[in-house]
């Protein structure tokens, strides 16, 4: 089983100078998927403000990995500036996630697809940004981010409604398999989910 960190390391250490567009897209898709699941998984913890501290490194690593696929090496400060340029600032995301968690139970459940959609959107927009040679206006990036975020969030919400408990248990299992939650946290959240039925 490949963990979140192993996937990032493999993508970041890969050589893409002679890779085809298809090979680059496969690497980007893989890292976006893994990062989105990881971001959703860390929202399982109940403390609202902690989300920013847990999701920020995931999204920074995501943008760095995607940049690497496209031939760019970025430090954390550059990534934070890029995120801010398309309306995905870490503080803004933290406020959204923290606010949602203030609503008991329902808010926590809403935070999972929200974190997934935010991170997926960051990945998609970063891919476009680097693919276009970093010559995209902040307005275009922000509009693209908002469109992808709304679409992905609605998609995840539909999935959650159609198989709410199953989807949440699968997210929890993925988090546990990826080593993002301890066995004790896994068992506690599993009991909470099953007890809410």
Query: pLDDT of 100-135, one tens digit each?
Result: 554 555 455 667 778 888 899 999 999 999 999 988
pLDDT category at 6 given cuts 50, 70, 90 is confident
DSSP of 93-115, one letter per residue?
HHHHHHHHHTSTTHHHHHHHHHH
Radius of gyration of the chain (CA): 17
Q: What percent of the chain has pLDDT over 70?
A: 75
Q: How far apart are CA 74 and CA 119, in angstroms?
A: 18
pLDDT computed for residue 130 by the predictor: 93
Phi-psi category of 134—alpha, beta or left, where left has phi over 0 and alpha has psi -120 to 50? left
Higher pLDDT, 159 or 85: 85
pLDDT band at residue 14 under the 50/70/90 scheme: confident
């Amino acid at each position: 089983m490949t963990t979140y960190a192993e996937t990032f390391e493999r993508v970041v250490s890969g050589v893409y100078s002679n890779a085809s567009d298809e090979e680059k897209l496969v690497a980007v898709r893989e890292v976006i998927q893994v990062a989105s699941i990881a971001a959703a998984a860390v929202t399982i913890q109940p403390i609202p403000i902690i989300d920013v501290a847990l999701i920020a490194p995931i999204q920074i690593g995501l943008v760095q990995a995607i940049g690497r696929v496209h031939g760019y090496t970025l430090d954390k400060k550059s990534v934070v500036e890029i995120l801010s340029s398309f309306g995905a600032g870490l503080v803004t995301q933290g406020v959204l996630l923290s606010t949602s968690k203030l609503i008991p139970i329902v808010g926590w459940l809403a935070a999972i697809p929200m974190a997934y959609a935010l991170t997926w959107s960051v990945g998609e927009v970063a891919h476009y940004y680097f693919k276009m040679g970093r010559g995209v206006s902040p307005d275009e990036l922000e509009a693209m981010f908002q469109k992808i975020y709304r679409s992905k969030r609605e998609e995840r919400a539909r999935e959650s409604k159609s198989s709410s408990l199953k989807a949440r248990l699968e997210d929890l299992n993925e988090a546990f398999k990826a080593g993002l939650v301890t066995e004790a946290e896994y068992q506690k959240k599993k009991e909470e989910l099953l007890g809410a039925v």
